[in-house]
Amino acid sequence: MPESYRDIQPNKKVPAIVDDGTVVTERAAICLYLTEKFPEAGLAPAVGDSNRAAFLSWLVYCDSVFDPCVAARAQGWEYVSNDFSFGAFDDMVRHLEKTLSARPYIAGDKFTAADTQLGSGIHFAINILGVLPKKQIFEDYLGRLTTRPAFQRFMAKDAAAMGGSA
């Protein structure tokens, strides 16, 4: 990343977007911004919808709990739950299992932008880092996500960009 990228993202992290001159950083903020800009996509429960709180909570949870727990585990950190605001890895895994056992998508019965974040995180943590256990509940959840047409289009574009095929 060139040093000039700091004008967009001070820590030179991705993702960040520039939309008509408006800079938006951090995944949860980008997701929320895009769901509000494109409400017709239906990727966020509307204000007042009973699933709105779960959607917002899980959108932030991905960045504030899931990712730090996965990163700490991948780095081999030994710590107790109260050492860091993101808590313990095993607590995070139990929370994911409990939630995904109760509903097909993280915020309810319908796929949302929160599933794009959590799904990619679970996929990465299981299949790339190997730190999240391969539990059937996670495999079933990923199965629901990977059969979506948008996911298939993404995989085809990604494969083409990498010089392969989907």
pLDDT tens digits for 38-57?
999 999 999 999 999 999 99
Predicted confidence at residue 164, as pLDDT, reads 64
Tell me, yes or no, whether 78 and 108 share the same domain: yes
pLDDT at 72 exceeding the cut of 80 = yes
Check pLDDT > 60 for residue 165: no
Residues 60 and 29: their CA atoms lie apart, in Å, by 9
104 within domain boundaries: yes
Tell me the one-letter amino acid at 66: F
128 and 53 in a common domain: yes
> Does residue 66 share a domain with residue 8?
no
CA distances from 139 to 130, 144, 153 (A): 14, 9, 20
Domain co-membership, 19 together with 70: no
Overall domain count for the chain:
2
In terms of domains, do 90 and 148 share one?
Answer: yes
Residue 166 is predicted with a pLDDT of 52
Assigned domain for 165 exists: no
142 has pLDDT over 60: yes
Same domain, 29 and 54: no
